[in-house]
Structure 1
Amino acid sequence: MIRLENIGKQNGKQIVFIEASATIQRGEKVGLVGPNGAGKTTLFRMITGEELPDEGQVSTDRGVRIGYFSQDVGDMSGRSAVAEVMDGVGPVSTLAAEMAELEAAMGDPDRADDMDDIIARYGEVQHKFDELDGYALDGRAREVLDGLGFSQEMMNGDVGKLSGGWKMRVALAKILLMRPDVMLLDEPSNHLDLESLIWLENFLKGFDGAILMTSHDREFMNRIVGKIVEIDGGALTSYSGDYEFYRQQRAIAEVQQQAQFERQQAMLAKEIAFIERFKARASHAAQVQSRVKKLEKIDKVEPPKRQQTVRFEFQPAPRSGEDVATLKNVSKSYGSRTIYDGLDFQVRRRERWCVMGVNGAGKSTLLKLVAGASEPDDGSVSRGPSVKMGYFAQHAMELLDGERTVLETLEDSFPQAGQAPLRALAGCFGFTGDEVEKKCRVLSGGEKARLVMAKMLFDPPNFLVLDEPTNHLDIATKQMLIEALSRYEGAMLFVSHDRHFLAALSNRVLELTTDGMHAYGGGYTEYVERTGQEAPGLRG
């Protein structure tokens, strides 16, 4: 269906692909993985024809329709979200626009002489529109938008007034409604809450076309794909199976390659030692020459390419008292909308609460109240006297000064620390060597998130309040954060839409619903088992 044959590609000085090959068959669901900057977006753009390979060829079977969702959604304004989504379908939306023009022409007295032609054309267009099931399109568009979390008001409102994250959802809905033969999805799980993520997962599982997708959500990828294509060092390698199978196979292949490399290195060392020892002796000249020729012909085994990973190291946090945070009879409203009315809630030492609830249930509001970033209208919020808090807010990355470097940002926060400890801190969070001189304005979302975490954890808190801390982190960095937080001994209160993160770190669940607050002992995995749902309002 889609074939990449011996492709080569260079962007400036960076070699992206070298004689790389892969295929996507009809109906296959494929996960595309590789470190940041490996060339995943370049590969998508070559498949769509937006970029051409320098060598080799990318071919697509005749008549195959491709839908491409990228993180660059472009301008949207001047029409409703529903109309914007329907516009992506192609022929149906074009026919709908022509029908509207013809209907206007039928009511125009100045066009009375052309009425027979107008009516005839209207009949043709209406027939094609009906054949393409155009009358059901509006309903299908609303169904997709509803699945992605839109209210009817948002569907009918001007798309230009939506935030960047909601515009991303509109762009994604366009591709889903289009139902092409192949969907290319570049991080479709970004900007989605857990309910929308699960809806999208089920939609894609039921889609009968082919999918090539990237995602930083390993659980999401595991449930959809049956094949992995890895980009690493300019090569494309295919693995049959989901993301977990790929990780296992890659680890096995690394061990085998390392063993092969070491065996060959030992053999080479022996051969070179023999040559060095006897090269001056005429009696051994033939043997020496024979071994030199043998070494020239040998295929060298390369050591395995080890993907660079961030290694988080948290200093031990000082012990807090038993009572970490207490909310008593708390009320909070925004305008006429009541979020909380008489809320009682307590976090105790070593408890790790994940907060769950549909959009607007008050998850971020609760974290703001606990962190002191927002005041209750009534009631009290208190933290224990020995509690030292670290708060990761959704907007924290926007507060970084774009003109300051990574190192200067850390120096601003810790002026007494000295450069050596701060460079070591930056290194723990993936900023090695000259990367500490990068200005904040050029950092990726993931790099900004790591920098904010570095600031938060340098002077270790014993209570972490985290609002979507993994939103911009890739799978490998997310895993390192999970491993570090699993060793953390303080209390935690957090919101996340990443089910792997929720399952790995929570030991309590606070569910916010329209009929009140429900607390569950045990973590997210136990919550799913007890309720039969992966998120409030959804049945498993």
Structure 2
Amino acid sequence: MIRLDNISKQNGRQLLFIEASAALQRGEKIGLVGPNGAGKSTLFRMITGQDQPDEGLVLVDRGVTIGFFSQDVGEMAGRSAVAEVMDGAGDVSTVAGELAALEAALANPDQADQMDALIERFGEVQARFEELGGYALEGRAREVLNGLSFSQEMMDKDVGALSGGWKMRVALARILLMRPDVMLLDEPSNHLDLESLIWLEEFLAGYDGALMLTSHDREFMNRVINKVIEIDGGTLTAFSGDYEFYEAQRAMNERQQQAQFERQQAMLAKEIKFIERFKARASHAAQVQSRVKKLEKIDRVEPPKRRQAVSFEFSPAPRSGEDVVTLRGVHKRYGSRVIYEGLDFLVRRRERCCVLGTNGAGKSTLLKLITGDTEPDEGRVVLGGSVKLGYFAQHAMELLEGERTVFQTLEDNFPLAAQGSLRALAGCFGFSGDEVEKTCRVLSGGEKARLVMAIMLYDPPNFLVLDEPTNHLDMATKEMLIAALSQYEGTMLFVSHDRHFLAALSNRVLELTPEGIHQYGGGYTEYVARTGHEAPGLHK
């Protein structure tokens, strides 16, 4: 359906692709992987014709429809979410627009003199709308939006009033409703909660077109894709199977290449030693010449390109008391909406509690009550003795000063720390060399999240409260964070939609339901085994 034929592409000084080739066939579900900046988004733009290769061809079969979801959703306003989603469905959305305009005209007393003409036109347009399956389309649009966690009220609300994350979901819903021959999805899992993510997995499992996607969620990748294309060093390499298979295969290829490299290096050293030893002896001249020629002809094996892995180790956190935080009789409401009524709950030292709950259940509110970001209407929230709290909040990234550099931001927070110590910290969180001189204004979402985390973890608290800490983080940084938090000796309370993160770090689950908090001993994996579902509100 789509072929990339010997494409080369340069972006400034960086060579993204060098005579690279790949193909996407019907029924294939491809995960596109590679380090940040390797060219994943550029590849999507070339397939959709928004960008052109410097050399080579991008070939799309005649008549193939392509739906492209990217993080840049543009402006949306003036229509309901459901109308915006239906607008992606082609002709039927144009007819729906006229039908809505005619309905408004029929209800307008100022147009009473044109009523006969309006009624006649309304009949024609309505017949055309029915013929195109318009009424069924609205039902399907609502079904998709419901799967992405929209309430009926939000579906009918002006899309311009929605936050950026919810607008992303509207843009994604447009592509899903369209059901094109090929879907290109650039980070579709970024702004989804756990329920929406699992719904999307099931939707894509039933989609019979071709799919190419990027995602930093390994569980999502494992369940959706059946092939991986890796972008690395300008080449495209295909691996059959899911993400886990790709990782294992890549590691095996690296080991084999390293062994080949070492064998060849040993052989070369032996030959060079012989040449050096006998080059001055006339009696060995022929042998020396023969070996020199042999070395000139050998194809050199390159050592495997190792991705730079960042790692971070905690300084020991001071010990807290046994009772870290206690909530007693907590009531909280926003307007007429009751979030908590008489909530009682205790977190003990060294517990790692993950908080699960459907949208609006009050996950972030619970974290804000505990951190003092919001006050209870009634009841008490009490932090235990010697508790030193660290809070990673979604809005923390917006509080970074745009004109300060990464290094200046670290210095502002730790004025007494040695420069070498702060540079080492920056390096652990992926800011090496000149990257510490980037201003916060130009940082990506992932870079901002890493900087906020570096500030929070440098002088470690003994109680970490984390609200979606893995949003925007790539897989390598997530793995670094999981490895670091696995060694952490303090207490954790966190919300995350990343199942790998939940399973790796939790030893207790708090499930928020309309009836109150359900508590489960054991981590997320035990919760799934015991309840039979991966998220509240979803049942197998």
Q: What is the TM-score with the length of structure 2 in the denominator?
A: 0.95
How far does residue 278 in structure 1 lie from its aligned partner after superposition?
2.5
In structure 1, the residue matched to 2:2 is: 2
Q: Aligned in 2, Cα 1:146/1:104: closer, same or farther, shift over 3 Å?
A: closer
RMSD: 2.2
How far does residue 351 in structure 1 lie from its aligned partner after superposition?
0.6
Q: Aligned in 2, Cα 1:371/1:126: closer, same or farther, shift over 3 Å?
A: closer
In structure 1, the residue matched to 2:145 is: 145
In structure 1, the residue matched to 2:96 is: 96
Partners of 2:205 and 2:224 within 8 A in 1: yes
How far does residue 89 in structure 1 lie from its aligned partner after superposition?
1.0
Partners of 2:343 and 2:516 within 8 A in 1: no
In structure 2, the residue matched to 1:424 is: 424
How far does residue 91 in structure 1 lie from its aligned partner after superposition?
2.2
Aligned pairs (5 A) from 1:402-481:
402-481=402-481
Corresponding position: 1:388 with 2:393: no
Task: Please give the alpha-carbon distance, in whole angstroms, between the structure 2 residues aligned to 1:284 and 1:263.
Answer: 26
In structure 2, the residue matched to 1:503 is: 503
Higher mean alpha-carbon deviation, 187-196 vs 375-384, is at 375-384
Q: Aligned in 2, Cα 1:515/1:434: closer, same or farther, shift over 3 Å?
A: same
How far does residue 128 in structure 1 lie from its aligned partner after superposition?
6.2
Task: Please give the alpha-carbon distance, in whole angstroms, between the structure 1 residues aligned to 2:412 and 2:145.
Answer: 44
Runs of 5+ unmatched residues, structure 2: none
Partners of 1:426 and 1:436 within 8 A in 2: yes
Structure 2: which amino acid aligns with 1:251? A
| 1:244-273 deviation per Cα after TM superposition (whole angstroms, max 9, x unaligned) | 110000110110001111111111112222
How far does residue 359 in structure 1 lie from its aligned partner after superposition?
1.2
| 1:209-230 deviation per Cα after TM superposition (whole angstroms, max 9, x unaligned) | 1110000111011111011111
Task: Please give the alpha-carbon distance, in whole angstroms, between the structure 1 residues aligned to 2:322 and 2:113.
Answer: 82
- The sequence identity of aligned pairs, in percent, is 77
Task: Please give the alpha-carbon distance, in whole angstroms, between the structure 2 residues aligned to 1:432 and 1:48.
Answer: 34
Structure 2: which amino acid aligns with 1:405? T
How far does residue 196 in structure 1 lie from its aligned partner after superposition?
0.9
Q: What is the TM-score with the length of structure 1 in the denominator?
A: 0.95
How far does residue 431 in structure 1 lie from its aligned partner after superposition?
1.3
Partners of 2:356 and 2:495 within 8 A in 1: yes
| 1:111-150 deviation per Cα after TM superposition (whole angstroms, max 9, x unaligned) | 99x99xx87x986x77765454223111111111111111
Higher mean alpha-carbon deviation, 479-488 vs 96-105, is at 96-105
Task: Please give the alpha-carbon distance, in whole angstroms, between the structure 1 residues aligned to 2:216 and 2:257.
Answer: 27
* Structure 2 SS opposite 1:43: helix
| 1:175-228 deviation per Cα after TM superposition (whole angstroms, max 9, x unaligned) | 000000010000000111111111111111111111100001110111110111
* Structure 2 SS opposite 1:36: coil
How far does residue 290 in structure 1 lie from its aligned partner after superposition?
2.0
Task: Please give the alpha-carbon distance, in whole angstroms, between the structure 2 residues aligned to 1:228 and 1:401.
Answer: 39
| 1:61-103 deviation per Cα after TM superposition (whole angstroms, max 9, x unaligned) | 1111000000000111111111111111112213434566789
Task: Please give the alpha-carbon distance, in whole angstroms, between the structure 2 residues aligned to 1:387 and 1:398.
Answer: 26
Structure 1: which amino acid aligns with 2:171? A
Task: Please give the alpha-carbon distance, in whole angstroms, between the structure 2 residues aligned to 1:170 and 1:213.
Answer: 18
Corresponding position: 1:238 with 2:238: yes
* Structure 2 SS opposite 1:169: helix
Number of matched pairs: 536
Partners of 2:80 and 2:157 within 8 A in 1: yes
How far does residue 455 in structure 1 lie from its aligned partner after superposition?
0.8
Partners of 1:311 and 1:430 within 8 A in 2: no
Task: Please give the alpha-carbon distance, in whole angstroms, between the structure 2 residues aligned to 1:254 and 1:361.
Answer: 46
Corresponding position: 1:528 with 2:528: yes
In structure 1, the residue matched to 2:345 is: 345
Task: Please give the alpha-carbon distance, in whole angstroms, between the structure 2 residues aligned to 1:108 and 1:286.
Answer: 108
Structure 2: which amino acid aligns with 1:245? F
Runs of 5+ unmatched residues, structure 1: none
Structure 2: which amino acid aligns with 1:484? A
Task: Please give the alpha-carbon distance, in whole angstroms, between the structure 2 residues aligned to 1:128 and 1:310.
Answer: 59
How far does residue 283 in structure 1 lie from its aligned partner after superposition?
2.7
| 1:157-184 deviation per Cα after TM superposition (whole angstroms, max 9, x unaligned) | 1111111111100000000000000100
Partners of 2:356 and 2:510 within 8 A in 1: yes
Partners of 1:99 and 1:122 within 8 A in 2: no
* Structure 2 SS opposite 1:395: helix
Task: Please give the alpha-carbon distance, in whole angstroms, between the structure 1 residues aligned to 2:336 and 2:219.
Answer: 38
Structure 2: which amino acid aligns with 1:346? L
Task: Please give the alpha-carbon distance, in whole angstroms, between the structure 2 residues aligned to 1:252 and 1:99.
Answer: 60
Corresponding position: 1:329 with 2:333: no
Corresponding position: 1:304 with 2:304: yes
Q: Aligned in 2, Cα 1:282/1:108: closer, same or farther, shift over 3 Å?
A: farther
Corresponding position: 1:45 with 2:14: no
Higher mean alpha-carbon deviation, 205-214 vs 379-388, is at 379-388
How far does residue 30 in structure 1 lie from its aligned partner after superposition?
0.8
Task: Please give the alpha-carbon distance, in whole angstroms, between the structure 2 residues aligned to 1:333 and 1:90.
Answer: 42
Task: Please give the alpha-carbon distance, in whole angstroms, between the structure 2 residues aligned to 1:292 and 1:51.
Answer: 48
In structure 1, the residue matched to 2:80 is: 80
Partners of 2:67 and 2:184 within 8 A in 1: yes
Partners of 1:102 and 1:122 within 8 A in 2: no
In structure 2, the residue matched to 1:200 is: 200
Task: Please give the alpha-carbon distance, in whole angstroms, between the structure 1 residues aligned to 2:101 and 2:343.
Answer: 56
Corresponding position: 1:181 with 2:198: no
Task: Please give the alpha-carbon distance, in whole angstroms, between the structure 2 residues aligned to 1:223 and 1:424.
Answer: 37
Partners of 1:64 and 1:182 within 8 A in 2: yes
* Structure 1 SS opposite 2:385: coil
Corresponding position: 1:216 with 2:213: no
* Structure 1 SS opposite 2:42: helix
* Structure 2 SS opposite 1:88: helix
| 1:301-320 deviation per Cα after TM superposition (whole angstroms, max 9, x unaligned) | 11111112221221121222
In structure 2, the residue matched to 1:492 is: 492
Task: Please give the alpha-carbon distance, in whole angstroms, between the structure 1 residues aligned to 2:425 and 2:104.
Answer: 67
Task: Please give the alpha-carbon distance, in whole angstroms, between the structure 2 residues aligned to 1:10 and 1:67.
Answer: 25
Structure 2: which amino acid aligns with 1:535? A
In structure 1, the residue matched to 2:538 is: 538
How far does residue 401 in structure 1 lie from its aligned partner after superposition?
0.7
Task: Please give the alpha-carbon distance, in whole angstroms, between the structure 2 residues aligned to 1:520 and 1:347.
Answer: 13
Superposed structure 1 runs of 4+ greater than 6 Å apart? 100-112, 125-128
Partners of 2:319 and 2:462 within 8 A in 1: yes
In structure 1, the residue matched to 2:294 is: 294
How far does residue 232 in structure 1 lie from its aligned partner after superposition?
0.6
Structure 2: which amino acid aligns with 1:87? D
How far does residue 384 in structure 1 lie from its aligned partner after superposition?
1.6
Corresponding position: 1:281 with 2:293: no
